[in-house]
Structure 1
Amino acid sequence: MDVVLLVKAAVMGIVEGLTEFLPISSTGHLILAGSLLGFHDEKAKVFDIAIQTGAILAVIIVYWQKIRDTLVALPTQRHAQRFALNVLIGFLPAVVLGLAFGKAIQAHLFTPEVVASTFILGAFVIIWAERRPRESVRVHDVDAMTWKDALKVGLVQCFAMIPGTSRSGATIIGGMLLGLSRKAATDFSFYLAIPTLVGAGAYSLYKQRALLSLADLPMFAVGLLFSFLSAWLCVRWLLRYISTHSFTPFAWYRIAFGIIVLLTAMTGWVDWSA
């Protein structure tokens, strides 16, 4: 058993769990961490996507009561059917556009200039969203969302295919700009993450199955475990944080990280074409 490899898997799992649900781009952080650890071959790219499942398990546990109640009520109650349909509607644009443009984005947009630009541009969008008057909020709870709200958030989520954007940042901040409260946008972002990230992980594993073997199981297990634990802590913290704080500090962090991207690219420390 390669202990060093397992330690790298644990570190990558922690990075994934801590950044997946914050508006700071888990992909950007995984590229940086993977480069610093020497963990960035083709198998590592599959690993990065697969361990998202651990983070999603944390979301399912944190929101289990709502998920369970929805599943129980789904056959008979209209509000449960509407909520499930909204999640499905929000999920579909990422499937369609991801299959259509995923390869092209991977080939042409994973450059330090694009990653840094989206980090910094996203920061200004966050600041703009947080400075908007609270009177613009129309939807205070996910159960009050219409299918049009869900579709709009789903379309906004597609911006996350551009590296450095952040899936959670796109859906949360996009939701706020579309009239959702900070809490409703965050909750829907988490619910939307379940089919989106599980689907991406399963698709990646299937597509790259030839690269994998049973010998990789310990590495993936460690990554999933640490991704789950760190995401569970992060999600619980974030839900408390947003009740009294804005996302503006994350905007300043994005600007700083964008500068780091450019510096590491200029010095050759990190290959951002991953």
Structure 2
Amino acid sequence: MDQQTLFEAAFLGLLEGLTEFLPVSSTGHILLAGHFLGFESEGKVFEVLIQFGAILAILLVYFRRLWTIALTLPSSATSRRFVAGIVLAFLPAAVIGVFAHGFIKTVLFEAPTLICIMLVLGGFVLLWVDRRKTTVRYSDVQDYPLMLALKIGLFQTIAFIPGVSRSGATIAGALLMGTDKRSAAEFSFFLAMPTMGGAFAFDLWLNRNALSGDDLSLIAVGFAVAFVAAIIVVRSLLDFVSRHGFAPFAYWRILVGTLGLIGIYLL
């Protein structure tokens, strides 16, 4: 393992931390960057396991809120409904992720052209949703009805196609069903905790015998950088979205996807 490989791991970790909670597809960015850098990891384990840095970052930022919810579960119907809603929203992705894992990792993750196309298409969809005039019915994630949470979870499953974006799919789904922009982004944060945690644990278990010392070193570097970058993003995203909406991320997706297609076919 040379310094260039460590630099590439740090760069990919930075991409993960900066993009995981933005509606721009962190997986798409990392896979495209790995494709052009020539960075390879067996079964794309590195790309999944460095997400643990982002998981810890959001758990740290939301620790007090999570602790309060946990303490009030026995006495608060609102807390119980919120937790039940997150569980319901998580279940569709959990089921599909287990049964389609092999296809996702060996087929979809190996298709850079598909990733670029989905980045561009997703950008236009996000731009349309952001500009669409709707009546806001839900502005507090703890007041989301259970059926709304489940429907948002169904939208999340679209993100198994790399380039779609897990947060982008959940945010777009929430906005289409009458939430405001800030709570849509926040719900995607909470839903990320079980979804990313489950993906991390499942991939770690499946590849437990394939990891080498060099793999662990690269993952540690990527994890550390992703952790720091994700903390910065999580602490600033909600205020940014409240002021600017999601259009800047839509334009970024279109730009990256277009440049990726140019790079694939012309370079």
Taking structure 2 as the reference length, the TM-score comes to: 0.93
Q: 2: CA distance between counterparts of 1:251 and 1:215? A: 36
Where structure 2 has 5 or more consecutive residues not aligned to the other structure, the ranges are: none
SS at match of 1:212: coil
| Residue 118 of structure 2: aligned partner | 118
| Residue 251 of structure 1: aligned partner | 250
Q: Which amino acid aligns with 1:129?
A: V
Q: Do the aligned partners of residues 174 and 163 (structure 1) sit closer, same or farther apart at CA in structure 2, a change above 3 Å counting? A: same
| Residue 230 of structure 1: aligned partner | 229
1:261 has 2:257 as partner: no
1:187 has 2:186 as partner: yes
CA RMSD of aligned residues (A): 1.7
Identity level (%): 44
Q: Do the aligned partners of residues 214 and 117 (structure 1) sit closer, same or farther apart at CA in structure 2, a change above 3 Å counting? A: closer
List per-residue Cα deviations over 1:168-213 (Å, max 9, x = no partner): 1111121111111111111110000001001101111111112113
Q: Which amino acid aligns with 1:263?
A: I
Given that 2:16 and 2:30 are in contact with CA atoms closer than 8 Å, whether structure 1 keeps it comes out as yes
Tell which deviates more after alignment, 170-179 or 85-94: 170-179
Cα offset, 1:92, TM superposition: 0.3
| Residue 203 of structure 1: aligned partner | 202
| Residue 78 of structure 2: aligned partner | 79
Given that 1:141 and 1:184 are in contact with CA atoms closer than 8 Å, whether structure 2 keeps it comes out as yes
Tell which deviates more after alignment, 181-190 or 108-117: 108-117
Given that 1:31 and 1:40 are in contact with CA atoms closer than 8 Å, whether structure 2 keeps it comes out as no
| Residue 240 of structure 2: aligned partner | 241
Where structure 1 has 5 or more consecutive residues not aligned to the other structure, the ranges are: 270-274
Q: Do the aligned partners of residues 238 and 124 (structure 1) sit closer, same or farther apart at CA in structure 2, a change above 3 Å counting? A: same
Cα offset, 1:219, TM superposition: 2.2
Q: 2: CA distance between counterparts of 1:263 and 1:215? A: 33
Q: 1: CA distance between counterparts of 2:184 and 2:139? A: 9
Cα offset, 1:7, TM superposition: 2.4
Q: Which amino acid aligns with 1:102?
A: H
Cα offset, 1:147, TM superposition: 0.5
Given that 2:58 and 2:231 are in contact with CA atoms closer than 8 Å, whether structure 1 keeps it comes out as yes
List per-residue Cα deviations over 1:94-127 (Å, max 9, x = no partner): 0111223332344444434422221122112112
| Residue 8 of structure 2: aligned partner | 8
Q: Do the aligned partners of residues 219 and 143 (structure 1) sit closer, same or farther apart at CA in structure 2, a change above 3 Å counting? A: same
Taking structure 1 as the reference length, the TM-score comes to: 0.91
Given that 1:23 and 1:250 are in contact with CA atoms closer than 8 Å, whether structure 2 keeps it comes out as yes
Paired residues in the alignment total 266
Q: Which amino acid aligns with 1:39?
A: F
List per-residue Cα deviations over 1:4-60 (Å, max 9, x = no partner): 3332221111110011111111111111222333322316x1011011111011111
